[in-house]
Structure 1
Amino acid sequence: MPIFTKKDALKAHLQHYRDSGKAIGFVPTMGALHQGHLALVKQSVAQNGATVVSIFVNPTQFNNPDDLLKYPRTLDADVQKIATVHPDVVVFAPEVDEMYDGNTQSKHYDFDGLETKMEGAHRPGHFDGVGTIVKKLFDIVQPTNAYFGEKDFQQLQIVKKLVEKESLGINIVGCPISREESGLAMSSRNERLTEKERKDAAIIYRILQEAREHFKTESIAEVREHALEAFETHPEFKPEYFEIAEESTLETATLKENRKYRAFIAVFLGNVRLIDNISLN
């Protein structure tokens, strides 16, 4: 399996794929890979002549230094998991200085307001960091298609806006949320949960499913009220937000119109912050 740590070496390796007209698929990750990540890799392998997976814990998208410190780093295990999908998948695992050239700062981006909602409101500077690293990675890999999971739906919309604003000509593919058997959305952060917490965390998806049912007959305010009340009977959870928003703009919805809506949630279980979302239409 080809593994690169230097961007120039990766560019040189990928050039023959471009010269031969083969599509290049790209799956950017921060490592600690789970089956959700591997589902993205499988889709890329099926749809492209070459697939690149980046493994890079990006410091500029963490507004909490403790969160950055605790983020799992499991490169050897990650490489082994990728190899089970296809032995020719290219892995790019650079150091921070390689990506930031010794200046670990994020660029400020205007994503037409997408960056100020939900995650952006609670994690200042987060989407500047996301935009900065995704643009750097896109410039290096120059993919035909790039794959992002819908668990981070706001990030998916941000990346689409980045491609539009920077005229990058990359096809962004949103992929369904991969869930554990309990319904809990797969996340690298799940590894920080105790066995009991991981079992208890299934309530998050159940509340989202209930919200979808309530949405059929009740007002948006009532749906939100039901969701927050449901957490009151589970005091080990500390909801940070529960929002119903229009999919393309992420504007908070107050009245139902002929649009596509999603329910978004962020909640603390112990000291682990979990996010999830569900389509309501």
Structure 2
Amino acid sequence: MDIPIKERQIAKFCRDGLLKENQNQVIQVSCQTGRDIRQLRGNSIVIYFYDESLSNILVRKKEFISEYYDGLKELLIYKANHGEIYSDILITLYPDGSYQFKYWFDEERLYNEEFNQAATFSQRYPHHIAADLLDFYLPDINFKKKYAKIIMTLEIRAGEPVVDLRYRNGRNQIKPVFDFMDNTGQSYQDSVENVLMILKKSILLQHNTTHGIMKEFWEPWNKIIIEVPPSGILNELEDIHYYLDDKPLDKKYSTRGNFDMKKWEYVKYK
């Protein structure tokens, strides 16, 4: 790839995307992606057009979006393949037709985004997994029994995820969700294996998240028991139970802090 030619093409597409009233001013095009664009899927670049002060977002034409998205992705992948990994590009467009590209790797921005995502994910995990259980996993295994609650036991044992699903019926009896006695076909077994695989991946991700980037705020644990009512709406104090070596942990999501959704940050408990 001839980088100067590619940059010129991208700059032209960006300029063509400007509205008429913005053509004669200095424009800043901010382009942000993740840690390594080669490992990202889908629309992996966020692009905003700003005025020179970088304080006001400008409206742009819609028809040119794919051209500069595709060009930037191709450029970043080429640079990454040649040992230059960048997360951010700032393109400055000048009224005389000239332009400037600035590349850098913004570790602080990436960490903050990852932290905020992890904080939200880890707190909402029991709610999301309960909703998925009712919407996808139980229908996948054709589970139609009446129940008071589904009891999900998700555990990390010797570093490996272990999953157990049971239900409490109307007579307060605890029964296994997976019924291999009445369902002997291969398709049923395949459906069960698929559900177990998804649940094991999810509990491993939750464990890695809370013991990784969130470890300063999250109490260590190795088991979650989630009691899911037919509505799928969890009571945070009654239906979600975290444990460490079978010792129940504090009910505040077993965390040392609380995620403030308004401030979009974690606040430690005193």
Q: TM-score range by the shorter chain?
A: under 0.3
More helix by share: 1
TM-score, length basis structure 1: 0.26
- Say which structure, 1 or 2, has more relative contact order (CA 8 Å, 6+ apart): 1
Between Structure 1 and Structure 2, whose CA radius of gyration is higher?
2
More strand by share: 2
